Amino acid sequence: MKSEVESRPPLVAAAFASGGGTNVQALLDYQDNLCPWRLALLVTDRENAGVLERAHIAGIDTAVMPVQERPTSDVARDTLCVLEAHGVEVIFLAGYLRLIPSEIVHRYRRRILNIHPALLPAFGGKGMYGMRVHQAVVDAGISMTGVTVHYVDEEYDCGTIITQWQVPVRPEDSAEDVAARVLKVEHRLYPLAAEHVCSALIDGREPGLLDLSELLSTTTTDPEHIEQESG
């Protein structure tokens, strides 16, 4: 599904993450000469974040940007300095557990993407991340959850939706079962959404929604089979 963009330079990208960074790894694994972005920087708020090792192995620069007990204006200033020093043009949030300062949102309006492990607007907002989301899904007794990729604005999980992929929830599922199923879809969906947005930005056009109908018509929607099909 990768676009023919070899004649145009890819966008310089930064990933923001707070934890192990499996979605950062998915983005790194997707990159090749046709990819319309190139990850050049990892930003994390935690000195011991597992994602730092992934960045080291991939040979990309890292910046640890502490957030706790610091004025938001200072965080924004220091982060923008790092982003500008690396020439960053697009940002991918990948398990980053902090609200992005408004100064950064303004500078990168509709160039910051986030992936959320539910079908927004359901199960979103402050404090809704990771296993908290999946436990809320199980507690709600619903039969379908999913993954959402959206633009980032000044509020948690409220930016314009780019694409969504549904994931079934079975009556016997635990939160851990749902989390594992959703994560497989995250790893598949995020690179596709990033490609969709970055290709449009390179072309100078509005990305719009990513229509998954063609993809879903030619592949299974069962997350348990995604790794075999995509591998």
Q: Which residues are catalytic?
A: 116
Q: How does strand 144-151 pair with strand 161-168?
A: antiparallel
Distances (CA, A) of 231 to 30, 56, 84, 154, 184: 11, 24, 35, 36, 12
What gap in Å lies between CA 43 and CA 47, rounded to an integer?
10
Give the DSSP per-residue string, 32-62: STT-SEEEEEEEES-TT-THHHHHHHHT-EE
